[in-house]
Structure 1
Amino acid sequence: AAASTGGDGDADEMPELSDCDDDDDVDNDEDLWQWAEEDEEDSRPANVTLLSSVPATLQHCAADHQVNLVEIIKKHHLDDYGYIKMINFIRSTKCDASGLTGLPDAPLPWESEDFLRPVLQDDPLLQTDPEELCEDLSLSVCPSFRAESHDALQQRAQAAEERASTSEQALARAMDDLHKLKLLAQGLVLNAEAGRPGNSSAVAELREDEDEAYFSSYGHYSIHEEINLVHTETFKAKPPPSPPVLQVVLDVGCGTGILAMFAARAGAKQVIAVDQSEIIYQAMDIVRSNELEDKITLIKGRIEDIKLPVEKVDVIISEWMGYFLLFESMLDSVLYARDLYLADGGSVYPDLCNISLVAVGDAQKYRDHIAFWDDVYGFNMACMKKAVVPEGMVEVVKEDTLISEPAVIQTFDCNKVRLSELEFASDFCLKMTNTTECTALVGYFDIFFDNGCGNKVMFSTGPRVTKTHWKQTVFLLEKPVSVQAGEELRGKITVRKNKKDPRSLWVTFDLEDGKHSYSLQ
C-alpha cells in the first residue's frame, strides 16, 4: 500500500477501502492496502494497521492476508505499467483479498488505461520498482532472481551452443535460398510494366503514417548539421532572377528555413516554406529571430496534403537531392508542387541535375567487406557475400582508388521531367585509366542553376571534389573484374523504385559477367 493523504474527505481522513462496513471478513482486509503518515494516527479508523515501509506492507499482506503481490506480478507477467494499474485498481475499488487471489489469467480487471491515474498523491507503492520488490524481499515466487546451480547453468550453456551451431547451418542455407528468391522477385518486378496504375505516383499516395519514418529522420538536428556549407553556399551564390520572377517563392522541404531566408533577402515579396518534419518548429523561431516573419510563411505538412495560401508561385526552390540523387524520392514531391502551383514562365531551382558512374579498384575495401567472409576466424561464411553485396553503401570514396574516367548515365531537367522518367535504364561506357581489378562501381550526382541565371552555378558530389553530405554510393562487385588501361567497361544500369517502399531504390547493372542487383534503403 502507499501513503494516504485523504480521499474525498478532509486531508487527514483515511479513506474507507470497503463498501461493506458491516462485513467482518471485509473489515479484516481493510488494513491490507492502508498506509498513513505518522501525523494521521489520531484520525485513522480503529481497524487500520500502520506500517512503516513498502516491504513491511507487502510482508504484512502475505503473512496476515495470504495475498502475495509479488506472486501476482509474476503470475500475470506484469510490467511497470501493469503493476501501476494493479495498485491503483486495488485503491480505487477497495477490493478484498479474495478478489486478488482468484484472478483469471485474462483479461485482468485493471486493463483500463484509467488505472494509470494515481488514486493517492505521492503513493509510495507507485514509486517502487516491481523488480526491486522481488529482489529486496527475496521471495521465492519471483523466478527471475532464483539462483541456479553451476551444473544446471553449464548444461543450459551447452544446449544453447548446440542450438546455435544448428541454427547457423540452417541460416546459411536459408540465406542462399533467400538470395535466389530475391533475384527472382527482382526480375519479376523490374520486368513488369512501368506504367501500371499507381506506379508513378507512389510517394504521393503514401499515407502520412506510412511516410512518418522518412520525415522523422529529418526531425533530428544532426541531419541539418550534416547538410553542409557546399550546397548551401551554392544556393546563396546563385544570382537571383529579375524582381518580377521573385514575387512568390515556394520552398519544398524547408528544414531550418535557410533557403527561404536567402530568397527573402534576395528580394522575394512572399516566401512559403513547407516541411512535414518537426524541425519546422525551430524554423519558425529562426525566421522570427531574423525578423523575416512578415515575408516568410511556414506550413507544417506534406506538400501533397496541404493547400497553399496562393494559387501560383513564380519560383520553387528545394534541397530535394538524396543519396545517388533519387534515393528518398523527394523529387517526386517537387514535381507534384511544380505541376500544381508553378506559374507559366516560372522555374524550379536547381533545374538541371545528372547522375554519373566511375569505376573503382579498392583491394582493401574488397578484402574488408567481401573476401572477409571466406575465412571468419577459421570458419567459411562465403554464403554471407550474397547478403552483403546487394546493399549499396554510402561513403566517401578515396580519389586514389578511381580507375576510370566518369560517365554521365542520366540527366534531368526539373522544369520538364515527368514523374515516370525518374525510373530509367541507360547504357554506359567507362574508359579505364589503370590496369588493375575493378572492385566496385560508384555513383554520384551534380546539380546546376541554369535557367535564367546570368552566371551558371553548380556543385558536385563526386569523389574528386570537396566531400558533401551525400558522399558517394558504392556498388561492390561480388567478384573483381580484371581491366586494362585504355579499354572500356560497358554495361547497362537500370534504376527502379521499390514497389513496397517507393522512397527506396533497386539498382541493377548488366555487365559482361552477368547481372548485379542492389538495394538502396
Structure 2
Amino acid sequence: MIIMYLSVLTDTFADTVTDHDGGAGDDVPDLSDSDNEEQWQWMEEANDNNFQVTCLFCDKMSNSVPETLQHCLVEHQVNLVEVVKKHKLDDYGYIKMINYIRTEKCSGQSLSTLPECSIPWESDEYMRPALQDDPILQIDLEELCEGMGMLAEPSTGSQCEASHSSDALLQRAQAAEERAQAAEERAQAAEERAQRTEEALARAMDDLHKLKLLAQGLVLNADVGRGTGALGAVAELREDEDEAYFSSYGHYSIHEEMLKDTVRTESYRDFMYLNPEVFKDKVVLDVGCGTGILSMFAARAGAKMVIGVDQSEIIYQAMDIVRSNQLQDRVTLIKGRIEEVKLPVEKVDIIISEWMGYFLLFESMLDSVLYARDLYLAEGGSVYPDRCTISLAAVGDTEKHQGRIAFWDDVYGFKMACMKRAVVPEAVVQVLKPDTLISKPAVIQGIDCNAVCLSELEFASDFCLKITESTDCTAIVGYFDIFFDRDCGNKVVFSTGPQVTKTHWKQTVFLLENPIPVQAGEELQGRITVRKNKKDPRSLFITFDLHDMKQTYSLQ
C-alpha cells in the first residue's frame, strides 16, 4: 500500500536520468504495475541490515520492520493493521500516521483508543518524514500483514507463528538487500553518465545562446515595420493579464516618488499654468491620472471639464483629493482601463498623460495614450507632451564595470565568468555620474505623439557617437527629453539625462561585457533595435550591434 510513497521518488529519479542520458534510466529497477511480485521484492530492500529499525513507541531497536511491528503488538498492544482499518487510512493517511507517532511521541494506548472520527494527523506537515529513511514508511503494509497472518492478537501460539513469519520475511529482506546493492551500483553508474550528459548539455546551451542571438537578429529584421495587430499591443491584454502592472501603482509610495520629482511635476504644472489659453473652456482627458494631480492642474488652468481614468486602486484616494480641493464640479474620475471604459463625452480637446517609463518606452503606457487619441481626440486637438526624443551616449566607468561585470572573473579565487551571461543582458536603471560620459549624445528616435503610429514604437536606428575622451567605453547610456511645444506661447522642456537634475526615471545603462578602447575625436558607430517583449508587451528588448559585438538587453 505504501509503495506509492517511494515509487514516486524513484520514478522521478528514473525520468531525470532518462532525460539526460538518452535511456540510462533503463538501469534503474522497474516499478511498473506489470510485475507486482518484483515490485514487492524491490520494496523489501528498505529492510537494510546495515541499520536498525526503531520502535514507534519506545527506543527498542530491531533488525527488521516485521520484528519491530511484532514488538509493537506484544509490548505496546498496538496492531497497526487494525489501526489502519479502523481509520480507513489510504497510502497518505498511513504515512501521516507514522510521522505523527514519531513526531508527537504518541503512546500505544492513546493511539489504540482514538475514536474513529478523530484523526490528529490530518495536517500535510506529517507528510514530512520524522525519521530520515524510515524503513516503516518503505514497506508495503498489505503484503507485510499477509506474511504475518494479519498480525493476530498476542498469544503464545500466535507469537511463535509470528516469530517464524518474521524470520521468513527477514530472509526475504536479506535476499532483497543483495539485489538492492546491485541496483544501487547500477543507479550510481547511471548518475555518473547523467552528470557527463549535463556537462555536454551545458556546452550545447552555450552554443544555443549564440544561435539565439543570431535568430533574434533575423526576427527583428522581420518584425520592424509590421502592422499594429501583430505587435502584442497593451490594448489586447486581458484585465487579469495586466493586473500586476496596475497593482504596482496602487500603493502610495510610487506616487509619492513621482510627486516629489520636481523636474517632472513642475514641468507639467508650468506647461499648464503658463499656457492657460490652451486649456480655457476645453474638455481634457487625463490618461492614467493616478492621484489626480494633472487633472487638477488642468482644471486650475481653465479647463471646463476634466476626465481622469485609472485602473489602479489609487483612484479612490484621487476622488477624495479632488473633493478636498473643491474641484469635483469640473473633475470626473473613472476607474478602469482606457481601452475598456466608456467616457461621458464622445470627444475631448486635449489629452494629457504622464506615460513615460524607463528609456521612455518601458511599460508601454504610450500605447494606451495613442488608443485614447485615435478614439476620443477631436479634430484640431492635441496630446501633451507632444514631442519626445531618445538619446544615447558612450560611458567610460571602469570602476562600475569592475564591480558588476569584471567581478565575476575572480570571486575569492574562483572563476565565475559564466555569470556574465546572466548579468550583462539586464539593463541597469541608475543615476549616472556626468563625468563618466565620454561622447556627445546622439538622438536615435523622435516621437510626435499627435502623429506616431503604434507600429513605430518598435524601431531600429543607426547611431554615431563622437568620442570626447581617450579611454575604454564600458557602457552605453540611454535617456529621453520631453517637450510641451504645440500651440504653446511658453514652451516647456525637461530632460532625464545625466547632465541635468536627476529625475525618478534616472538613466538606463547598457553595460558592455568587454570594454571597447576608444580615442578622442573618433566616432563609435552602431545600430540599436528596440522592440516589445511579445510575451509581455510592457517590457522591452533592446539590441545593440556595436564594434563587432551584438548583445540583447531586457528591460522589465
Aligned mate of 1:180, from 193, 199, 210: 210
Shift of 1:75: 4.4
* Distance in 1 separating the partners of 2:128 and 2:382: 69
Give me the TM-score of the superposition, normalised by structure 2: 0.65
The residue aligned with 2:268 is 235
TM-score by length of 1: 0.69
Choose the corresponding residue for 2:518, options 464, 483, 490: 483
**Aligned counterparts of 1:244 and 1:435: Cα–Cα separation in 2:** 50
CA contact (8 A) 1:176 1:383 kept: no
Match of 1:438 among 473, 484, 505: 473
The offset of 1:412, in angstroms, is 0.8
Amino acid at match of 1:443: G
Counterpart Cα distance in 2 of 1:384 and 1:171: 17
1:292 aligns with 2:327: yes
Q: 1:389 Cα deviation (Å)?
A: 1.0
SS across alignment from 1:474: strand
Map 1:102-501; keep pairs closer than 5 Å.
143=128, 146=131, 173=203, 176-177=206-207, 179-193=209-223, 194-196=225-227, 198-200=229-231, 202-227=233-258, 228-238=261-271, 239-242=274-277, 246-501=281-536
Partner Cα distance (1:74, 1:388) in 2: 48
CA distance in 2, matches of 1:362, 1:393: 14
Residues 465-491 of structure 1 deviation map (CA, whole Å, 9 limit, x = unaligned): 111111000011111000111111111
Q: Measure the CA separation in 1 of the matches of 2:340 and 2:417.
A: 47
Tell me which amino acid in the other structure corresponds to 2:267. T
**8 A Cα contact 2:95 2:127, kept in partner:** no
Distance 1:501 1:74, change over 3 A: farther
Cα distance in 2, alignment partners of residues 515 and 402 from structure 1: 22
Aligned-residue offset at 1:317: 0.4
The answer to whether the Cα contact below 8 Å between 2:483 and 2:492 also exists between their aligned partners in 1 is yes
With over 3 angstroms needed to count, the CA separation of the structure-2 counterparts of 1:378 and 1:243, relative to structure 1, is closer
Runs of at least 5 residues in structure 2 that lack an aligned partner in the other structure:
1-81, 98-113, 135-187
**Residue deviations 1:336-362 (CA, integer Å, cap 9, x gap):** 111111111111111110000011001
Deviation per CA, 1:4-24, whole angstroms, max 9, x where unpaired?
Answer: xxxxxxxxxxxxxxxxxxxxx
Q: The residue matched to 2:501 in structure 1 has which SS?
A: coil
Distance 1:143 1:509, change over 3 A: closer
Deviation sequence 1:350-386 (CA, Å, 0-9, x none): 1110000011001011111111111122221212212
> Matched residues in 1 for 2:276 and 2:252: separation?
32
Q: Secondary structure at the match of 2:526?
A: strand
Distance 1:451 1:143, change over 3 A: closer
Displacement after TM superposition at 1:176 (Å): 2.4
Q: Which amino acid aligns with 1:218?
A: Y
State the Cα distance separating 1:177 from its structure 2 match.
4.5
Equivalent in the alignment of 2:30? none
Q: Percent identity?
A: 70
5+ residue gaps, structure 1:
1-61, 78-95, 102-124, 135-140, 150-158
Superposition RMSD on alpha carbons, in Å?
3.3
Give the Cα–Cα distance (whole angstroms) in 2 for the partners of residues 385 and 266 of structure 1.
Answer: 52
Amino acid aligned to 1:225: E
Task: Tell me the distance in 2 between the aligned counterparts of 1:484 and 1:241.
Answer: 50
* SS in structure 2 at match of 1:430: strand
Counterparts of 1:244 and 1:431, CA distance in 2:
42
Q: CA distance change for structure 1 residues 173 and 300 in 2, over 3 Å: closer, same or farther?
A: farther
For residues 206-262 of structure 1, give each alpha carbon's deviation from its aligned partner in whole angstroms, at most 9, with x where no partner exists: 111111111111112221122122110001111234267542110000111110011
Distance 2:478 2:214 in 1: 25
Amino acid at match of 2:221: N
| Aligned-partner SS, 1:328 | coil
Whole-angstrom CA distance in 2 between matches of 1:196 and 1:311: 27
Which secondary structure does the structure 1 equivalent of 2:229 belong to?
Answer: coil
2 CA distance for matches of 1:210 and 1:460? Answer: 32
Deviation of 1:182 (Å) = 3.4
